[in-house]
Structure formats: structure tokens, C-alpha cells
Amino acid sequence: MRGIRIKSLLTGTMLAGLCSATLSAAPIFGTFNIAGTITATGNTITWRLNDPPFPADQARIGPGSTGSFTGLDGTLITIADLNRVTEPVGAPFPAQPFISFLSGPTLPGLQINNIFNGIYPNTQCTAAPAVGQVCTPTPPNSPFNFVNNQPAPPTGPFATATFVFSGVTSDGLSSWQGNFTSQFTVPYQTLLAALAPGGAGFVTNTFSATFLVTPNAVPEPSPAILAACGLGLVLFSAGLRKKFNRC
């Protein structure tokens, strides 16, 4: 009889735990910053850590993390390279793994499903460099918002590039948006020339980014799930009483 009780207790515990996990999953939330180095070509974006030995596909979380990311300041993430073929610019695409937290292995990863088009026209992209110019180069679609900022004589305008990604967490319970910034000591026309035919074919620079993760509206458990859990517990209880009565 003791063996029956132990076995029944374990079964009941497993059933209750399964129902609890099904009904009470908690979405992650909060903000965090990252920094690293980005290399952009006409079709790809790749990443690496700023610290020696400069490993690929890593970045560091900066200070000020909040919510589910509290305590991760200074730790590393992995960040996946992007390719226009599988992650097109300007239209949502199937979610792809993007960021995982090396010091937070229980956190769901961030999956990317949207690289937003840049917001500026392309009319000033080929103009002579001047302060105040803006540019999103097209075609093809580009995520980059270039601005020529105040000059630092005698080099001419410095440039800033911003771009925005978004996606969902791997558990589907939260959504995120990442706002990226990269600052250059040359005008954006110099960067576009490097990417154009005859140029180096790539641009490399440091970047920083801020991520906001917000829970999705969590639906109430479906009647079918509630009914299944309730029925399972009722049947288990009835079976348990029957076993004990026979004993």
C-alpha cells in the first residue's frame, strides 16, 4: 500500500505541475543596451565583440538593464548575422534566431522578423557633403538612416547611421524592438562610396543599441485546456480513492 501511495503521489504531482506550467507561463520584459562592432555590405550585416580576441557574433550588455534583464550588465550575448536573402528589408519575414543571453540561459532568446526600411529620401545621397543632409540609399531597400552632423574641421561633416529591428521572443510571449546607432568621423557619402562598385565593399564601425521587450497580451487559458486539466485531476482523484478503498 505504501508503494501505491508513493506512486500515486508522484503521478498527481506531475499532473498538477503540467497544468500549472501550461496555465502560468510568464513573459519576459524590460530594457537592455548592447555594444559591439558591426560590418555592413550591400547584402549582409555581421557582428563581433569589441574586446580581444574580438570573437564573431557576440556583443556586450551595457549598464542600466531593467526587468527580466536586471543583473546581466556587463555580460555577453550571441547575435546572429543577417543576410538580405533570408532577412529582407522592409517586409516581415519568418522569425529567425537573433539574440541569446549567455549569462541568462533560462531566458527565451530574441527572434528577429522585421528589418524596417529607412525613413529618409535618397535625393541627398549623392550630393556634395554638407551639414544637415539626410539619406536612405535605394535601391535596394536599406535599413539605414544617415545624417551628416556638425563638422569637425578640417575633416567635414561627421555622420550618424540609425536603424531599427523588431521581433518576438522564442516562447512567443513577448515582442521586442531594437534601436541601433553607429557614429562615423566621415560624411555618409564616404561610406556609400565604400559600398559602391569599386569601393572596399564593406563598412566596419562600432555600434550601440537599446532594446525594449514588452509582454504580448496573454490570452486566458482556453476552455479546452481548463477542462482537460480539471478532468485529469478529477479522474486521478477518483482512481486514487478506488485504489485506497481496495486496500
pLDDT per position as a tens digit, 85-117: 999 999 999 999 999 999 999 999 999 999 999
- Cα(179)–Cα(165) distance, integer angstroms: 7
CA distance 189 to 146: 9
Q: How many residues does the chain have?
A: 247
- Residue 224 pLDDT grade (very low, low, confident, very high; cuts 50, 70, 90): very low
Q: Please, which pLDDT band fits residue 22 given cuts at 50, 70 and 90?
A: very low
Rounded Cα distance between 21 and 18, Å, is 5
Residue-wise pLDDT for 146-187, tens only, equals 999 998 777 789 999 999 999 999 999 999 999 999 999 999
Q: Where does the pLDDT of residue 246 fall: very low under 50, low under 70, confident under 90, or very high at 90 and above?
A: low
Q: Report the pLDDT value the prediction gives residue 240, as an integer from 0 to 100.
A: 44
Please report the pLDDT score of residue 247 as a whole number. 53
Residue, of 225 and 117, whose pLDDT is higher:
117
- Transcribe 34-48 into DSSP letters: EEEEEEE-SSEEEEE
